[in-house]
Structure formats: C-alpha cells, structure tokens
Amino acid sequence: MKLTGDEVKHIAKLARLRLTDEEVAKFGEQLSGILSNARMLEEVDTSNVEPIAQITGLRNVTFTDEVQPCDLADKLLEQSPMPLQDHMIKVKNVF
Amino acid sequence: MIDLSIAQTKQGLKDKKFSAVELTQAYLDRIAATDEKLHSYITVTGDLALKKAKEIDKKGDYSGLLEGIPMNLKDVVCTAGIKTTACSKILENFVPPYNAHMYDRLLAAGSILLGKTNTDEFTMGSSSENSYFGVTHNPWNLEYVSGGSSGGPAASVSADQCAFSIGTDTGGSIRQPASLCGTVGLKVTYGRVPRHGCISYASSFDTIGPFTKTVEDAALVLQAIAGRSEKDATTPDMSVPDYSGFLKEDLKGVTLGVPKEYFAEGVEKEVSDSILEAIEVMKKLGAKIIEVSLPLTKYAIPTYYILVKSEGSTNMARYDGIKYGHTTDAAKELQEIYMKSRSEGFGDEVKRTIMLGTYALSAGYYDAFYLKAAKVRALMKKEFEEVFEKCDALITPTSPTPAFKIGEKTDDPLAMYMCDVLTTPINLAGICGMSVPAGFSSKGLPIGLQIIANQFKEDNLFHVGHAFEQATEWHKKKPALI
C-alpha cells in the first residue's frame, strides 16, 4: 500500500496542513508503511460484530438543565491572538 | 527527606520532623541540582510552592489526604495562571484560564505543585523525544530515553524531584516510562479519574493517573482524584472504594493469569526472565498461577493507532491559530491562517497523527480502517472479559525492552509504536493496569512488571502490587545521579 505524492498532498489539504516537498516524500513513505501494517486487521473476522466507541458502556449521560455561574468569557476571549471587537474575535477575510 | 514515600512524608510532617516549607525547599534544591542533566521539568513554580507550603505549616495539622506533599503535573494538565504547553510550539505560551478538575481535587487534598513536566508533544510518543522542548533523560543512564509520553513525570519521581507526579496514559504513556525509569505507574480504568481540563489526545482512550515511589502511594493519590465529576460525562456514577484496605501482604486466594502472548517474540529475554521470577515470588505469597491466552494481542498495535490517530486528528482540529495558541504572522486570508499556523506549530508526530487519522476517517477508507479497528476493539474487550472470569489479575512485562538509547528509533515511527505492544491492549479494553519495578537489565536499566485488572478493579492492582513490592527490594533502589 503505497501513497502517491498527490494523495499525501490531498490528505494534508483536508487536514489543513501545508507540507514541504521533503515532508510529502517523508510522510508519504512513513504513512504507507503504517497503513500497510494496519492491513493485517483484515485477518480478523468481524462479521456480526458491533463497533465500540464508549468502552465502559455509558449511554445518554444527562445533567439537570440549570444555569451555572461562569465568569470565563472574557478570559477565554483574551486567549485569542487575533484582535477583539465588540466582544468577538476579528478574523481575516475568508477570500 | 526527598526519598521518602508519601505515607512516610505524611508521618514526618505530623511528627514535626520537618516542615512543609523545608520539604518543598528540599525538592526545589533537588530540581535545581539535577534538572540540567535530566530535563524533567518544563516549568518550575518555586515561589508558588513555597507560599502554599507556608500556609500549610501555619495551619499545622497536616490532616488532608495529601497535605504538604510536593508533586508535579505532566504539562497537559491545565493550571490556571501557569503555562500549560502540551510541549508543543502551538501552545508554547498558553496560560489556561482555569484548572483541570482533577488538579482542583489535588489542591483540595493539600498537595503542593512544584511545576509542570515534560511529555512528547500532545502526549504522542513513547520516548519524550517528540517534545518541542527536548528529550527527558533516563535517571539510570543519561544516554537513554526516559520513555514516553510521560517521560518528565517518570524521571522526576525516579530522581526524587517530587513526591509524586500525575501523568496521562492513552496507550502506555504512564506504564511504559514508569517501567523504563523504575517507578510505580498507574493507568486507571477509563473514566475513573475526570479528564476535564486535561489536553486531549484520543478521547475514548485517555486516562489520568499517578507516578509514585510505592504502590501504597499510588492508592493514596488515586483516592484523592478518583470519582465522578459533572465536568466529565464519561466518569460513571460509581463509588470509590477505600483503596488502602486492599494493601495486603499475601496473595492467598488470588488467581493470577499469565497470557502467553505477552512473552512472545520481540520481548527481550532479560525482561521475560525478570517477570517469570516475579511470578515465582507471587506463587510463594500464595497466589494460584494459571496460563491464559489472549490471541488478539498481535492486532493491538494497528487497532490502536488507527483509532487513536483518528480521534487525535479530530482533537487537533481545534488548533486553528485563532482561538488560542500560536498564530502565523504570514497570512492574508482565513485558510492561510489555518494552514500556516498549524504547519508552523505542530511537530512531525502530530502531523503524522493528523494525516493518518484524516485518511482513516475519510469517506473511501472509513470502513476499511476506522470501522474495522472499532470492531476489533470490541472483540478485544470481550476477550479480556472472558479471561477475567478465570482470574483476578494478569501478570505481564510492561515494556518489551528496557530503555533504549536516545535517537535510536526517531526515524522509524512504526518501531516507536511497537514500544507499546504490551500496554495498548489495556487502553483498547478500557481496563486498568499498573507497572511496578521488578528487576534490572545487565546494563543496569529498570525492568517493570505490568499487573492488569478488569474495569474498576484497581483494588486488585493494589493488592497484588503491594504484596509483591513488600516481598522484593526493587523499588528501594535509586539511580546514582549526582
């Protein structure tokens, strides 16, 4: 299983990463090796097996819907490296 | 006094043999004298620690569960007003506005924060070499890795730079460095300790637990941090037992399983010999030993990295150069901010994680990779459940090898992943495990024994671990650092 340079670039784009040509070559090789190794999972018979994501079996955890004090809003906004305006983060143009 | 266990330190404080200030100062001196060589600490909070110690001495009753005990936190645990970097460039200057809930519990118990310790970037790694701030050296031999990702916590406990440390374990990140540095390291059941305020890697795998000098200490720290929290919906509403009640000296009536797959090819003979010797000790303590089989073990590594890298890539999506953390200064429009900030801010292993996860979750490959692995995970959980019908705990090596040399595996990510071959199955099944010192290699590097128990059976780990520790001397050995 060998990823082409174009495939690596496509994945990087989906993942919002910009790679140098050297990184494309290096990661392409490394990811191909890792994915080939993962192919061994095909040996395991998983017919009629439900996939698992919540390992201790918890379902639909709910809490009482009541207002709790939270004074973090300003502190969280201050974390942004972007300028603030009217209690919002001002980002660059989309296009 | 810095080489005492938590239990001994508590007694010393109560008996006024030393004050919390003297104790804290002794640890700070130790850090100052050794950390240039080891590089366990990313941030040292000396002034804050001494201030807290003074308050505790003034109060003077040392009654809290961990009152006056100096400790550190792996640098992925959020500490309000104190830098929390995840050892990544992207969070190099990040100062969280709130505490992790688990840290609040440690503060309520009276412990004193000495600082924040090193990890592979975002906990992705097995050697701490992926830290943006550089590797943590093994206290037993500075040319060797301390393991990872919690290399800083492990080395700091081993070298008496703290009384205990808190790390995280997603696939072995507490147990493997504990094994490589010769400390006790506890990976709790998924959900036993709230993850609120702890920077995420893989949300259905991540757990938080202590590094300590004795098994009794691990039980003490867990007592302080375990239990349901409304801030983490994955913590079940289950009572926390009094763990100290399980620290027994013998193993009568205990059945221990030895899974043959954990002694297979790839496990160094020195390591398996030490564990087999440990099993003989347990037999003498009264344990019944049975051989068991976990045939899916060989699929653990690919199952693990497909799922963990998928969850990891999703978690890393929040680092966008906008909300917090590093942002590029060379972007004109929004897409460019994402692309450049992330490419500048993340190291290689994080980039590999993001790309591998993105690939495994993408439309054409989701069934073949992510879904397939999630099904194998279900089978592995079932396999463990069946084995725990026959025994109370499993005994295995923690790491297939003792510590390896710095730089030895950095160019081969797959070889690095294989370091976790004996620890990832435990995270896949959501069960608990603990590494306990069990010997030394011919090069003088520590070897760790892994005890594994079913979900929420940490009491079994403490029982077996404590009895073994009391019957052996391994945990008393200290690295000759200075």
At B209-245, the pLDDT tens digits run 999 999 999 999 999 999 999 999 999 999 999 999 9
C-alpha B327/C-alpha B421 separation (Å) is 36
Residue B414 has a pLDDT of 87
- Does residue A35 lie in a domain region? yes
- Does residue A48 lie in a domain region? no
Residue B234 has a pLDDT of 96
Strand positions, DSSP E, B349-401:
393-397
* Banded pLDDT at A59 (limits 50, 70, 90): confident
Interchain CB distance below 8 Å, A81 and B430: no
CB pairs under 8 A between A and B: 162
Tell me the mean pLDDT in the region B427-452: 98
CATH number of the domain that residue A24 is part of: 1.10.20
Residue B265 has a pLDDT of 85
Backbone angles phi and psi of B452, in degrees to 5: -125, 135
Residue B245 has a pLDDT of 96
- Does residue A29 lie in a domain region? yes
Q: At what angle do helices B101-108 and B215-225 cross, to 10 degrees?
A: 110
Which of B353, B358, B371, B457 should one mutate to test binding to chain A, selecting the residue with the greatest count of A CBs within 10 A? B358
Say how many domains are in chain B: 1
Whether residue B176 has pLDDT greater than 80:
yes
- Does residue B392 lie in a domain region? yes
Q: Which of B230, B296, B305 sits opposite A34 (nearest CB)?
A: B305
Helix boundaries (H) for B245-299: 269-284
Tell me the mean pLDDT in the region B66-94: 98
Contact yes or no for B418/B297 (Cβ under 8 A): no
**Angle made by CA atoms B158, B188, B44, in degrees to the nearest 5:** 40
Contact yes or no for B116/B82 (Cβ under 8 A): yes
Residue B452 has a pLDDT of 98
Tell me the mean pLDDT in the region B6-30: 98
- Does residue A49 lie in a domain region? no
Largest Cα separation within chain A, whole Å, is: 57
Domain containing A29: what range? 5-43
- Which ipTM score applies to this complex? 0.96
Percent of chain B with pLDDT over 90: 96
- Does residue A10 lie in a domain region? yes
Residue B482 has a pLDDT of 56
- Does residue B271 lie in a domain region? no
Domain containing B21: what range? 6-257+386-476
Tell me the mean pLDDT in the region B418-442: 97
- First-last CA distance in chain A: 37
Interchain CB distance below 8 Å, B355 and A8: yes
Backbone angles phi and psi of B477, in degrees to 5: -75, 140
Interchain CB distance below 8 Å, B378 and A51: yes
Residue B46 has a pLDDT of 98
C-alpha B74/C-alpha B41 separation (Å) is 9
Kindly write down the DSSP assignment for every residue of A26-42, as one continuous string. Answer: HHHHHHHHHHHHHGGGG
CA distance to B83, B91, B152, per residue, from B99 (Å)? 11, 16, 20
Q: Which residues contact A78 (CB under 8 A, 6 or more apart)?
A: A84, B97
With CA atoms as reference, report the closest residue to B320 among A91, A78, A72: A91
Backbone angles phi and psi of B398, in degrees to 5: -85, -50
* Banded pLDDT at A21 (limits 50, 70, 90): very high
Nearest CA distance, B327 vs chain A (angstrom): 7
Average pLDDT score, chain B:
97
C-alpha A55/C-alpha A66 separation (Å) is 29
CA distance to B220, B238, B434, B444, per residue, from B241 (Å)? 11, 9, 18, 38
Q: What is the DSSP letter of B2?
A: T
Q: Which two tokens stand for residue B311?
A: 């969850």
Characterize B346-362 residue by residue with b for buried, 16 or more Cβ atoms within 10 angstroms of its Cβ, and e for exposed.
Answer: bbbbbbbbbbbbbbbbe
Residue B327 has a pLDDT of 96
- Does residue A58 lie in a domain region? no
- Does residue A59 lie in a domain region? no
- Does residue A20 lie in a domain region? yes
Strand positions, DSSP E, B283-362:
288-292
Q: Which residues contact B134 (CB under 8 A, 6 or more apart)?
A: B39
B374, closest residue in chain A (CA to CA): A51
Interchain CB distance below 8 Å, B378 and A61: no
CATH number of the domain that residue B226 is part of: 3.90.1300.10
With CA atoms as reference, report the closest residue to B126 among B377, B304, B311, B310: B304
Scanning A27-46 for CB atoms below 8 A from B yields: 27, 30-31, 33-35, 37-38, 40-44, 46
Contact yes or no for B68/B20 (Cβ under 8 A): yes
Whether residue B263 has pLDDT greater than 90:
yes
- Does residue B293 lie in a domain region? no
- Does residue B413 lie in a domain region? yes
Which of B304, B334, B356, B426 should one mutate to test binding to chain A, selecting the residue with the greatest count of A CBs within 10 A? B356
Backbone angles phi and psi of B152, in degrees to 5: -65, -55
Interchain CB distance below 8 Å, A37 and B414: yes
Contact yes or no for B420/B158 (Cβ under 8 A): no
Contacts of B339 in chain A (CB under 8 A): 16-18
Say how many domains are in chain A: 1
Tell me the mean pLDDT in the region B47-76: 97
